[in-house]
């Protein structure tokens, strides 16, 4: 299955990204020419979603290798890209792969090839997650997701949305929580589902409990930014609340993610570094102030769902349960 947009591509020495900060109003591709521009694009969520961040960072290193063959300079680009977002493990997984390339060569072609490889692997992984996930979707399924773990977050058909795309004929509705503060649900998931003719309904985050308690959902599927050995899972803020609500209402709660999201160096979720983002993301919506200037705001971008709330993990290697090795 192919979707009708491309999130990232390397084209003759530049990287073209779909600027996700402008969606759904504008479908604009931005040209990225340097590692600093790529770091800015990742930090400001122009490219976002754990798998896509990893791929973007790998291309960012290729941009560095285009201008220098000095190992230290390529290494500084890697450090810069590593400092962009702390939670998504895919960023570190990809850059660790790129570091192995740098250990042997500074040749540009080798970095382009590694980034292309990461991109192709992700595309294939998404399809496999989708194929395994289809078995969990009943006829006339009513699903709920959170944030955007779709095609926009990957180089393929997404993670959480992959089974939904492949089981399209079995889907009667996907509830899309808006996902404050940056509205990845309302702006991105709603955009890609409607564009691909998947029946979807937008709700505000605070309506999730009501909708689940009324028996309107058969299963929840979300993505992940980092999964620890015991299965604790960091994902967009609000995922933990959704998992607790799902368990309370006897609704299965699945996490769909590639193995590149699993950080086996960490035993449990307490050790995950949670990204804190700026106050302005909460105090403004799309540039418009919605709160008094004087109020303080606290903006953790992710939370950790303990493994006990997760029914199973949908990976490229099948439906799995922790521990992960
Ligand atoms: O801050 P974002 O938009 O990068 O957060 C994205 C998420 O939380 C996704 O659910 C996660 O990265 C999985 S994407 C396949």
Q: How far is the CA of 224 from the centre of ligand 1 (A)?
A: 7
Residues 244-302 pLDDT 10s: 999 999 999 999 999 999 999 999 999 999 999 999 999 999 889 999 999 999 999 99
Residues 148-184 pLDDT 10s: 999 999 999 999 999 999 999 999 999 999 999 999 9
Query: How high does pLDDT run on average in the chain?
Result: 97
**How would residue 5 be classed by pLDDT, with cut points 50, 70 and 90?**
confident
Q: Which residue out of 50, 126, 238, 301 has the highest number of ligand 1 atoms within 8 Å of its CB and is therefore the one to mutate?
A: 50
Its pTM stands at: 0.97
Options 225, 232, 263, 303, the catalytic residue: 225
Query: Whose structure tokens read 């307490």?
Result: 270
Could you give the 3-state DSSP secondary structure of residue 70? coil
The DSSP-derived string for 234-301 is EEETTHHHHHHHHHHTT--EEEE--GGGEETT-SSGGG--PPB--THHHHEETTEE-S-TT-----BS
Domains annotated on the chain, with CATH: 8-127 (1.20.120.420), 135-320 (3.40.50.10470)
Angle at 72 between CA 59 and CA 120, to 5 degrees: 20
DSSP code at position 140: T
**H or E stretch at 191:** helix 190-195
Ligand 1 close to Cβ of residue 48 (< 6 A): yes
């Amino acid at each position: 299955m192919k979707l009708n947009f491309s999130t990232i591509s390397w084209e003759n020495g530049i990287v073209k990204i779909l600027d996700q900060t402008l969606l759904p109003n504008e479908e604009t591709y931005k040209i990225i020419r340097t590692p600093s521009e790529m770091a800015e694009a990742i930090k400001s969520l122009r490219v976002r979603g754990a798998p896509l961040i990893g791929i973007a960072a790998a291309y960012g290193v290729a941009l560095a290798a285009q201008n220098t063959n000095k190992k230290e300079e390529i290494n500084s680009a890697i450090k810069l890209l590593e400092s962009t977002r702390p939670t998504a493990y895919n960023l570190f997984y990809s850059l660790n792969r790129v570091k192995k390339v740098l250990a042997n060569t500074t040749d540009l072609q080798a970095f382009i090839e590694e980034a292309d490889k990461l991109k192709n692997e992700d595309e294939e992984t998404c399809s496999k997650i989708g194929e395994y996930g289809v078995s969990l979707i009943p006829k006339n399924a009513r699903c709920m997701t959170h944030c955007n773990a779709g095609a926009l977050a990957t180089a393929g058909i997404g993670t959480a949305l992959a089974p939904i795309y492949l089981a399209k004929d079995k889907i009667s509705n996907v509830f899309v929580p808006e996902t404050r503060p940056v509205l990845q649900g309302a702006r991105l998931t709603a955009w890609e589902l409607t564009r691909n003719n998947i029946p979807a309904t937008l709700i505000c985050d605070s309506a999730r409990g009501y909708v689940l308690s009324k028996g309107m959902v058969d299963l929840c599927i979300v993505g992940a930014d980092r999964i620890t050995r015991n299965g604790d899972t960091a994902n967009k803020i609000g995922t933990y609340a959704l998992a607790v609500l799902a368990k309370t209402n006897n609704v299965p709660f699945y996490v769909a993610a590639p193995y590149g999201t699993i950080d086996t160096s960490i035993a449990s979720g307490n050790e995950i570094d949670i990204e804190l983002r700026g106050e302005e993301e909460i105090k403004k919506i799309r540039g418009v102030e919605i709160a008094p200037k004087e109020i303080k705001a606290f903006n953790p971008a992710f939370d950790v769902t303990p493994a006990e709330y997760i029914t199973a993990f949908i990976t490229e290697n099948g439906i799995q349960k922790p521990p992960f090795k």
